Amino acid sequence: MKNIMKQYLAMMIGCCLFLPIMFGCNQHHENNFNDAASISFADDLPVNPLLAKVITTTIYPADSIMCTLYANEIAWMYASLHHDFNYPKGSELYEVTWRQKPDSVWFGANIPKEIIMVECLTFIDAELPTYDSYSGDPLKKDVFHNSDHFTKRIKEIVSQRMAVSP
C-alpha cells in the first residue's frame, strides 16, 4: 500500500509540474507584433507618436477604448519635473485612442485593436497649442469648423498628469 501511495504522489507532483508547462501557455505565437494597432506608411501623420515617451494611459472598459498620451522629450521632461500644465515651447503631445480586443495570449487581458484617432498638440508659443487630429483608415487629418471642440480637447489632454510608477 505504501508503494502505491508513493507512486500516486510522484504522479501527482509530475502532473503539477509538467501539465502547466505543456498546456498552460500558448506557445504558438511566432509574431506578437500588433500590426492593426500600429501606425502605417499610408497614414498622414507627420511623425509616429508611438515612438515617443508615454505620459499616461486611460482605459474606458464600458466603451472598449483605451488611450495613451505620448510626449516628445521636451514635454516628457517637463511633465516629469512639474505638476502644472504650462508646457514649454517645443513640446508635443500625442493622444492615441484605440478600440480594444481580447488578448489571445493572456486570458482576461485586452490589447489595442486598431487606432481610432490620434490628436496632436504642438506648443509653438505661450498661447494655446495648435491642435490637429487624424482619424479613419488610413489616418487622415480632420477638418474642424467648431473651435469649441478643439479648445475643450486641448484642455482635457493637457490636464492629464504623468503616471507614477515605482
- How far apart (Å, rounded) are the C-alpha atoms in residues 28 and 16? 22
Task: Note whether residue 105 is domain-resident.
Answer: yes
pLDDT tens track for 53-91: 999 999 999 999 999 999 999 999 999 999 888 999 999
The answer to whether residue 1 sits within a structural domain is no
Structural domain contains residue 146? yes
Query: How many domains does the structure of the chain reveal?
Result: 1
pLDDT, tens digit, 9 for 90 and up, residues 29-46: 566 678 878 998 889 899
Q: Each residue of 12-30: pLDDT tens digit? A: 555 444 544 444 555 555 6
Q: Residue 103: inside a domain, yes or no?
A: yes
d(CA 114, CA 69): 16
Residue 86 lies in a domain: yes
User: In this structure, is the dihedral angle defined by the CA atoms of residues 32, 35, 40 and 43, taken in order, positive or negative?
Assistant: negative
Domain of 107 in residue numbering reads as: 45-158
pLDDT at 40: 86
Q: Smallest Cα–Cα separation from 114: which of 64, 70, 157?
A: 64
Residue 66 is assigned to a structural domain of this protein: yes
- Residue 93 placed within a domain: yes
Evaluate whether residue 140 is within a structural domain: yes
Strands (E), the chain: 53-60, 65-71, 92-102, 110-122, 130-135, 140-141
